[in-house]
Amino acid sequence: MTDRLRIALAQLNPKVGDLPGNLALARAALADAVAAKADILMFSELFLTGYFPDDLLFKPQFIKDAMQAARDLVADTAGTEVVLVLPTVWWDKTGLHNAAIVAENGEIIATRLKRELPNTDVFYEKRYFTAGPLAMPVLIKGVSVGIPICEDIWHASVCEHLAMRGAEIMLCPNGSPYWTNKQHIRKELVRARVAEDDVPMLYLNQVGGQDELVFDGASFAIEPGDKLVLQGKSFATDFIVSDWVRGDDGWTCANGEVTELTTTDEAPWLACVLGLRDYVHKNGFSQVVLGLSGGIDSAVVAAMAVDALGPENVHCIMLPYRYTSEASLADARACADNLGVRYDIVAIGDPVDDALAQLAPIFGDRPADLAEENIQSRMRGVVLMAVSNKLGSMLLTTGNKSEMGVGYATIYGDMNGGYNPLKDMFKMEVYRLAGWRNAHVPGDCLGPSGEVIPQAIIDKAPSAELRPDQTDQDSLPPYPVLDAILKGIVEDELSLAEIVALGYEPALIQRIERLVNIAEYKRRQSAPGPKLTAKAFGMGRKYPITNGYKDRSI
């Protein structure tokens, strides 16, 4: 039995399915733990496979390869003093499990299986895994250690069971994605478990972007008495070493470092930047291209891309037509100059006019409408995709959640692209972050300081500029009103009557609900983007395209 433990938490950025790459990360962390003279090294949930592997888990060879990678890492502990807590997939006679293996001196000394399998929001673990039993603590260097895995701590019975059977300290590996206020939600949860069980808990989370999810790290530890004794970095990798001492009142942290959390103002920007950077790099790209219109959305995406990848890896293209204003041309140029990116102008007048001329016999004498407007947008999409194909840059699309909510976007036009950093961000939040970014250079962002988004872009009325003197408010209510109604419909799942009670016109609410419903087919074909809220289109909100339900509460 020991009265001191040095515990290392590997807050790292794995890639789903990259078993060799993730094993290399784990081996480097093991070497760091040996150098730090750590007694225990813990990795985040399903580290070697990456979280979450989805239907890769139905592939038998993937499971075999993942288990072999885990055995290889276990073997590496031989001749060291480090005990490994490695969350991994594990197959036994009862089925496939989300598990944690404990290894010492080259041997597996214990296996613990996740008890509570989440089946809500973005998690469908019951589709893949068999739940384990309520587990006993594991004896590590004479210390009784409980290992609840992620969702387990959301159910008081799991930690209560471990504490009642002698657990002196809890080590909790997680794959917990970011959304608004999530860091504080986690902390309150752990505070509750620690207060109930009177046992300290170390909470380890992974970091990095994985398709539409962004993991923010921000690992921490809490002692009884509501003491935050450890706090890791947010939205960045970290290797967190702390010393723990047994006293008369149990285990306490002797030297934990508390890093300040990101603010709620900063977090959405960092989430978009990290999600974009990892999506680009993990999919084998190094550069991006986007259409820079002189509007707020494309300017914000350009700034995020520069922060993620550096200005030398961002290519902005202005694609003017006869309705593009001189102000938009000037604003796009100023934004590109502020960011230091490559900027080109490719006029679409001739190809659009040629297309209209060729279509004239079919269109006949019908008045101009959305068909003609959408040709402009789709021609821009053609040009941008051509540049993407030729130069090997990933095309970014720039529609925000307000526009995507009501279908104010052209499918196969401005919706073209491999990734959309603003997909889960309402329009007014885009404006807020533009002003915020002009005053801050957050985290490890690579962009310049100062006014990166010209104030003229922030101040002017938004417009698609697809017809003379057009503004968004020709077709939509003011964005503060639209965002509030969409929040009620999409994020809060309110009835129409409940939204009317908030002070909005019934006819307007019914119109917005109809637009939300009929735009589902567009959203189903849209590019992925970082999930920033609990109800992101795609992973967080799954509605049928063919949908006959009508809310008749008003």
Q: Establish whether 535 is a catalytic residue.
A: no
Cβ 531 vs Cβ 179: under 8 Å: yes
Cβ 216 vs Cβ 271: under 8 Å: yes
DSSP structural state of residue 515: H
Q: Establish whether 114 is a catalytic residue.
A: yes
Beta strands in 365-444 (DSSP E): 394-395
* Active-site position among 15, 104, 114, 401: 114
DSSP structural state of residue 488: I
Q: Which residue has the tokens 């004794």?
A: 229
Q: Would you say the C-alpha torsion 339, 345, 351, 352 has a positive or negative sign?
A: positive
Backbone angles phi, psi at 288, to 5 degrees: -130, 160
CA-based nearest residue to 311, from 337, 283, 333: 337
Q: Establish whether 520 is a catalytic residue.
A: no
Distance CA 233, CA 360 (A): 60
Residue 264: exposed, middle, or buried by beta-carbon count in 10 A (0-12, 13-18, 19+)?
A: exposed
- DSSP codes, 106-130: TEEEEEEE------STT--GGGT-P
- Starting at the edge strand found earlier in the chain, the sheet holding 40-43 runs 107-113, 95-104, 83-92, 40-43, 4-11, 238-247, 250-253
- Determine which helix (DSSP H) or strand (DSSP E) holds 140, and give its type and residue range: strand 138-140
- Determine which helix (DSSP H) or strand (DSSP E) holds 83, and give its type and residue range: strand 83-92
CA-based nearest residue to 118, from 158, 82, 84: 158
Distance CA 422, CA 439 (A): 20
Residue 304: exposed, middle, or buried by beta-carbon count in 10 A (0-12, 13-18, 19+)?
A: buried
* Active-site position among 104, 116, 125, 150: 150
* Active-site position among 15, 45, 316, 522: 45
Q: Which residues are catalytic?
A: 45, 114, 150
